[in-house]
Amino acid sequence: MRVGVVTEIKPAERRVALTPAGALELTEAGHEVLVQAGAGVGSGFADQAYVASGARIVDEAKSVWGESELLLKVKEPIKPEYELLNKDATLFTYLHLAADAPLTEALVANGTNAIAYETVVGPKGGLPLLAPMSEVAGRLAAQAGAYFLQAPLGGRGVLIGGVPGVAPARVVVIGGGVVGTNAARVAVGMGAEVTILERSIPRLIELEQYFEGRARVLMSDPLTLREEVSHADVVIGAVLVAGAAAPKLISREMLADMRKNAVIVDVAIDQGGCAETSTPTTHGDPTYVVDDVLHYCVANMPGAVPATSTRALTNATLPYVKALANGVDEALAADPGLQSGVNVRGGEILVPAVAEALEASRSAA
């Protein structure tokens, strides 16, 4: 099968969907790999590294899209790429369609077979292709919170770990999944006072055992959420409903009770954000202020560390890529978890939450 890899064009996105090592495994298995010129440069991979792995370098994105039977990306196609979508290729990437009606419409209109990394389910459950980037994003969220607490950047001027005789920053993590656990882990490591809010009792027990008192672990209910957010220096939104839009847990009204110049890091922004006041930002212009609260809502946080993220992503996706390259229909039939990743096929939306979000968007329009 011809497997294509294009250069990401989302602002400040430096990751690439396949490492040269991954390309080598595919070419050694008899597949043809097409890589757009310069696609790996942002992650530290020169074109020559792909050539040495048996891949063919192609100058233009249009040619890669047009020739590929399996098209690999990192981030969802953005508007300039909509015209390149076609029904003859399978697209394998992060999609987050519940928060992106225009892309959903484009995939449906073009009949594209679109498989989303974030809804593929592993053999033992979980989301194995979302997990590595969630780990990265969670760790970066704590770093971002610490960084933007600095007064010159708009924050409260609080050192996240404090110093002897001076209290550390209070960090509230909403959601105890992969993102939340990694955010809390790094924040604890920096010396912050960390509270994790989670609704699953089994997960609460796991978190309590994991952190062994180094972080407070509380049941997340509306009153507790409001109370904890009001006293936080940093709030990290780590909420996930697989395939669906994130619930709006932080209302505009709640911002009035927050500390002046506190920081919200909304990692859920790919799914629309868990704060009512969240709107996507970029690495080039990452923050804005609403009601004296600094918002950091970068929609591709792991793109800030592409040398790490690209390797972690390929480690996770490559077994699925190899299966799809041996035959898409066969791979989907053999793996129900991979089948759950199919969001759109033949002009039909296969994920109910995505269909509901699109209908809601059409109604609002």
Q: How far is CA 157 from CA 213, 231, 237, 286, in A?
A: 27, 15, 21, 18
Residue 283 DSSP class: S
Using CA atoms of 353, 332, 19, 108 in order, give the dihedral in degrees to the nearest 10: -40
Helix (H) or strand (E) holding 59: none
Q: Closest by alpha carbon to 36, among 69, 68, 58?
A: 58
Q: How far is CA 319 from CA 179, 239, 301, 338, 345, in A?
A: 23, 27, 24, 11, 22
In whole angstroms, give the CA distance from residue 178 to residue 281. Answer: 22
Residues 6+ apart with CB under 8 A from 29: 322, 325, 326
In whole angstroms, give the CA distance from residue 158 to residue 245. Answer: 32
100, 233, 266, 270: the catalytic one is 270
Q: Closest by alpha carbon to 194, among 257, 156, 251, 145?
A: 145
Q: Where are the alpha helices (DSSP H) in the chain?
A: 20-28, 47-52, 61-67, 101-110, 131-148, 178-189, 201-211, 222-230, 252-255, 306-325, 328-334, 336-339, 352-364
Respond yes or no: is residue 270 known to be catalytic. Answer: yes
Partners of 32 in the β-ladder = 2
Q: Which two tokens stand for residue 117?
A: 């990394």
Q: Residue 56's Cα: distance from chain center in Å?
A: 29
Q: Residue 1's Cα: distance from chain center in Å?
A: 28
Q: Which two tokens stand for residue 362?
A: 């059409």
Q: Residue 191's Cα: distance from chain center in Å?
A: 26
End-to-end CA distance of the chain: 41
Half-sphere exposure of 174 (CA within 13 A, CB side): 29
Respond yes or no: is residue 285 known to be catalytic. Answer: no
96, 233, 266, 335: the catalytic one is 96
Q: Which two tokens stand for residue 62?
A: 């249009």
Active site residues: 96, 270
